[in-house]
Structure 1
Amino acid sequence: MPGCTRARGQVRAMPVTIDRTTSSRRAPPHPARLSLTPAPGGLDGIWWPRSRALTRELPTLTAALGERWGRVTGVTVHPGYWPVIPHWVSVAGRTVQVGWSTEAQDPHRLTLSLPDGRRDVLVIPPESGAGAAAQLMAGDGTEAPAREEAADRIDARIGEEAWETDGGAGRPSFPPRPIGSTGPSPAGRRR
């Protein structure tokens, strides 16, 4: 029995101390790191998430964008850089649909569906250094393709570093096909 000891055939309960100084409540989320200045290439803004966990990052992003652009009803991502893609996320008591596409979605863009249309946001890799992210978010006169190339370089460098530190065992380039999906997996092969 957990929390018990035996002494010569007897079972004695051990005292248990419960530390109530740590609350089971989560800390309030950090504000979304956004630049909503329209940019060439059809970009409506730039987002620098803190991680690649969409279930953690999207509620903060969609709440922040909802205040500025209106209610976000859906999000589409490219599966290449997100290890887990949920079917939906909860935002302020409602759900936002999450989908993915390898054909219509640029790996470094996130497409948001709103009642009045769609908006595209460039995604800066979360592992980016603060200096590189600040340059991308400020624009510094670079066109959208140059920003996406910079994001590609950051991802390539991070991938090489992971390959080296993990002994050559980096993460796969595409996550498995979502549960319940009837189409081919993102890599184009059937499972």
Structure 2
Amino acid sequence: MTSDRLRPPPPAPPLLRLYLAPESTLPRRIDGAWWPRTSDLPAELPQRLSGLPRGWGRILSVRVNGTVWTGAPARMLVRDQVVRVRGTTTAHASSTVVLMAPGHGRRDLLVVPPEATERAAASLVFAAGLTAEPRSSAS
């Protein structure tokens, strides 16, 4: 017979490495930063979208730099919702992912390169004026 007192605590939710700008009514260029672990979009994007704040609405369209992300499909199924993925090669979009949610607008995330060191990632996040604490997948 096992006692609840002898069971180890559940593991902490994994960090999504998502850093968000504080809520504001003022427009801004960057709404947050995302530091993915790889450049494999089908592996990274579903977890990313599932970890966004509810107030951002349901993301139905994502624009990514097609030269940065590998294996970017035209559509993905995320939480029983089809998300359209559009690739672009414009210079200004090279380091961002644009998320669109009907009725909630557009959110731009700065993408920290997966190979960045922790120090380099922190510098990019700080330079963008974002909080230094990443969100967990339970956020």
Cα deviation code 1:46-71 (max 9, x no counterpart):
00001001101100111111534111
What is the Cα deviation at residue 133 of structure 1?
Answer: 1.0
- Determine whether 1:102 maps to 2:86: no
Please identify the structure whose Cα radius of gyration is greater.
1
Alpha carbons of structure 1 residues 53 and 88: separation in structure 2 relative to 1, 3 Å: same
How has the CA–CA distance of structure 1 residues 105 and 78 changed in structure 2, closer, same or farther, with 3 Å as cutoff?
Answer: farther
Q: Work out which of the residue numbers 19, 39, 44 in structure 2 matches 1:52.
A: 39
Selected match of 1:117 from 81, 105, 110: 105
TM-score (norm 2): 0.71
> CA offsets, 1:14-39, max 9 Å, x none?
xxxxxxxxxxxxxxx9442101115x
Superposed CA RMSD in Å reads: 2.3
Residues 105/63 of structure 1: CA separation in 2 closer, same or farther (3 Å cut): farther
1:89 maps to 2:76: yes
The answer to whether structure 1 residue 78 and structure 2 residue 65 are counterparts is yes
Give, in angstroms, the shift of residue 104 of structure 1. 7.6
Does 1 or 2 have the higher relative contact order (CA < 8 Å, sep 6+)? Answer: 2
- TM-score, length-scaled by structure 1: 0.53
Give the drift of 1:135: 2.4
Q: 1:132 to 1:103 in 2, by over 3 A?
A: closer
Matched residue count: 112
Partner of 1:184: none
Unaligned runs of 5+ in 1: 1-28, 145-191
